[in-house]
Structure 1
Amino acid sequence: MRDVHAPPSKSATNRALVLAALSSEAVELVRPLDSEDTRALARCLEAMGAVVEPAAAGLTVKGPLGRQGTTEEVVLDAEASGTAARFLAPLACAFPGRYVLTGSPRLRERPMSELLAALRVLGADVEERGAEGFLPLSIRGGNLRRASIEVDASRSSQFLSALLLAAVAVDGGLSVRPSGRVVSAPYVETTLAILREFGHSVRRGASGEIRVERGSASPGSWEVPGDWSSSLPFFAAAGICGGDVSVIGLSWPSPDADALALDAIESMGVETERETGAIRARAHPRSLRPVSIDAADFPDAVPVLTALAAFAEGESRFAGIGHLRVKESDRIAALAALAQAAGATALDRPEELSIAGPPRPAAAPARLPTFEDHRLAMAAALLSLGVPGALIENPDCVAKSYPGFFRDLETILVRG
């Protein structure tokens, strides 16, 4: 196998786009991710008044946001991006203008109610145009006020991150306290780290509240780190095929949620060497082991772990993942169906997924469904490495987060 460069982080690019649009001066984003999701967010920020232009090293983003003095409704189409929808809702409430926030059919099925409840406490003028707690939304902006609030982040940490980012747009800032267990909690730490790097004040209280206030500095430029979520498949490929691979451009140690999954991958039989700037993985063929883990904090890694589990001798169990049912697909049910299509045994429960391998031989080539979900397509690609003749349905859906995924996967599989 060969080396591969990590793609730019989708979660960091999205957060940086928002904070750059909220900065007092233009910010150059160095090596941002160019994907369907990040383009959707950038277009919506432009519709709100920001300027997003190509730059030598990436993009230049400049505010201000808001449509002061116009009565025309501005449509903010988040397309299929849950992150964009959750981040845009409080921004539209904070800045003057009339907005309609909408998205794809699947996005209109993904929950927003916890975030909307918190926004209404802050004085937001927001109404659902369809089912309660879902897109599309009608928003009259410019009404958010300083306050201390609670938000339920037990189904998505994006609700909490969205409010923390929007605090920069509120005079005096916001104090936000999560209620209940925060799923995917490391993503909140990523939000706080980027807020600090953009010069904003972040303080934690004794009772768990997080206070964010606007700072006076602007970073000028900000470099997007490598994406752990999209790099994990390369480590898994080493485990499935045998061999070694180095992914360049990943920071270590890392606060990224999916960096936590590296321990799980090691437990399954893939050795890793972790250094600043590069992570190396190696494994022997047919050496994978089953695991039983709580994956609540790294949900985007579960599709990759599912593919590895399909080739391990015995049953693996991934618990604490009920929030995967409200992603781009019902990922628990979809991963069970995908593993079964590859010949493995799968059992999906409300909050967990069990996978037992290795795959059974099939009389006909397997057809691997992706459910139009980019993470499922990456998992299907990994499964196809050990299931000869497998056909992946709609592989192009990887463009949501990693348009060059199949090119880079092919690169590491070609032996030098």
Structure 2
Amino acid sequence: MNIKLQKSTLHKQSNIAITGSKSESNRLLLLQALYSNISIANISNSDDATLMQKALKSTDSVKDIHHAGTAMRFLTAYYATQNGQEITLTGSSRMQERPIKILVEALQQLGADITYTNNEGYPPLHIKGKKLQGNQVTLAANVSSQYISALLLIAPTLENGLTLTLDGKITSVPYIKMTLSLLNDLGVATNFEGNTITVARFETTEKAKAFTVESDWSSASYFYSLIALSEIGTTIELSSYKQNSLQGDSCLAEIYTEFGVETTFGENTIALTKTREATQETIKLDLKNAPDIAQTIAVTAFGLQLSCEMIGLHTLKIKETDRLVALKTELEKLGAAVDITDATLYLHKAASINENITIETYKDHRMAMAFAPLALCVSIHIEKANVVSKSFPDFWSDLQKIGVKLIEI
């Protein structure tokens, strides 16, 4: 499905309900598989969460999680602990290009039986579940937080818990803290001090534990961008959100004040309002704790004809696509000048925006959604737009609700 977005103006006042966070959902789904007394409300309707649920329920010996990166990392750890189960964990062609060696080697340190069925260091994986005896692992601190969270989620089931030492400067700390907070809510004792995380063994109790997943802050980012590019006085109310969020991307509320967007927290809602024009000509951000919002921010800055300098983006190269290269390519088609390194992006102030450009999405949901707000500036085409189902299946219909004009082509 390709979509043409016609130059549009948002309704002055709108309301949107956003599905649960896929980050929280997938963590809780794994904990539910380990501890059956857990119930979960407001689970994400994203492809990632759906694929995670399907894999956990399936009795097949081959588990295909397609393009769900979180599921690949979490399920690798989960099945390594399932004594007596033998499975092959595979995914899409892109998933088979995404490295997993760091996590596999960490699990092998604990005693896991995991082998590669094709290329060393990459899925598919052949996993023979067993009782893991180890309780100490050291990892580089700048690796994907999903590797770290995968280990932390299975840690309470290990005979002696887990002591995880992170070597170097830690990135994506909010995602680690999210995992630990969910473990704490379950009743698991944890400690995160300096570069050492400890998780105690936890024997489940018969007492039921109910969790409600907060809505996804990454999904909210596109509405922040839309408001930033809209007229002063425009407001969108989003649910369900809370001020003391576990999600690292909740930093959007602070970041987007730079673009003139104010966030008002209500009871289970946030209201985003364009209150002024941006005052800084160059936006400078370190996104090491929230790299998933880099694409949205870059496009927002471009649409407002601002400069933008972002660092801490080293994990973007191993996502659904190399997001730094993809961003540079698509922004430059629109008339931008962009400089990138392995971990940084610098967007130069643009004099104008080219119209009727077709944006390639590279099988990456965030590429489609990050560029969509430019419809408030120019008409734009989004190729293979249904890729948004990975995290936000209702994205295009929600955009229409708030005034964005689009047609399928």
Q: TM-score, normalised by structure 1?
A: 0.88
Query: 1:77 corresponds to which residue?
Result: 64
Give the percent of matched residue pairs that are identical in Structure 1 and Structure 2: 29
Contact 1:319 1:353 in 2 (8 A): yes
Output one character per residue of 1:156-184: Cα deviation in whole Å (capped at 9) or x when no partner: 00111000001133223222122223322
Matched, 1:102 2:102: no
* Residue among 7, 12, 15 paired with 1:3: 15
Query: Helix, strand or coil for the counterpart of 1:279?
Result: strand
Output one character per residue of 1:137-165: Cα deviation in whole Å (capped at 9) or x when no partner: 11111142241211224130011100000
Output one character per residue of 1:72-120: Cα deviation in whole Å (capped at 9) or x when no partner: x811212101100100111111112111111111111111111111111
Kindly provide the amino acid, as one letter, of the partner of residue 305 in structure 1: I
Query: 1:387 corresponds to which residue?
Result: 378
Q: 5+ residue gaps in structure 1?
A: 49-72
Matched, 1:305 2:294: no
Query: 1:128 corresponds to which residue?
Result: 116
> 1:101-250 residue pairs with structure 2 within 5 A?
101-205=89-193, 208-217=196-205, 218-242=207-231, 243-250=234-241
Query: Helix, strand or coil for the counterpart of 2:120?
Result: coil
* Residue among 282, 296, 314 paired with 2:273: 282
Kindly provide the amino acid, as one letter, of the partner of residue 111 in structure 2: G
Kindly provide the amino acid, as one letter, of the partner of residue 89 in structure 1: T
Number of aligned pairs?
Answer: 388
Matched, 1:16 2:28: yes
Q: CA deviation at 1:126?
A: 0.9
Matched, 1:399 2:389: yes
Matched, 1:36 2:47: yes
> 1:365-380 residue pairs with structure 2 within 5 A?
365-380=356-371
Q: CA deviation at 1:404?
A: 0.3
Query: 1:54 corresponds to which residue?
Result: none
* Residue among 310, 318, 341 paired with 1:318: 310
Q: CA deviation at 1:208?
A: 2.0
Q: CA deviation at 1:313?
A: 3.3
Query: 1:355 corresponds to which residue?
Result: 347
Taking CA–CA contacts closer than 8 Å with sequence separation of 6 or more, which of the two structures ends up with the larger relative contact order?
A: 2
Query: Helix, strand or coil for the counterpart of 1:139?
Result: strand
Query: 1:92 corresponds to which residue?
Result: 79
Contact 1:108 1:134 in 2 (8 A): yes
Q: CA deviation at 1:262?
A: 2.3
Instruction: Tell me: CA distance 1:146–1:361, structure 2 relative to 1, closer, same or farther (3 Å).
Output: closer
Whole-Å separation in 2 of the counterparts to 1:46 and 1:252: 34
Q: CA deviation at 1:221?
A: 2.4
Kindly provide the amino acid, as one letter, of the partner of residue 166 in structure 1: I
Q: TM-score, normalised by structure 2?
A: 0.89
Contact 2:19 2:43 in 1 (8 A): no
Whole-Å separation in 2 of the counterparts to 1:220 and 1:198: 7
Instruction: Tell me: CA distance 1:411–1:208, structure 2 relative to 1, closer, same or farther (3 Å).
Output: same
Q: CA deviation at 1:286?
A: 6.1
Kindly provide the amino acid, as one letter, of the partner of residue 25 in structure 2: T
Whole-Å separation in 2 of the counterparts to 1:84 and 1:152: 21
Q: CA deviation at 1:336?
A: 1.4
Q: 5+ residue gaps in structure 2?
A: 1-12
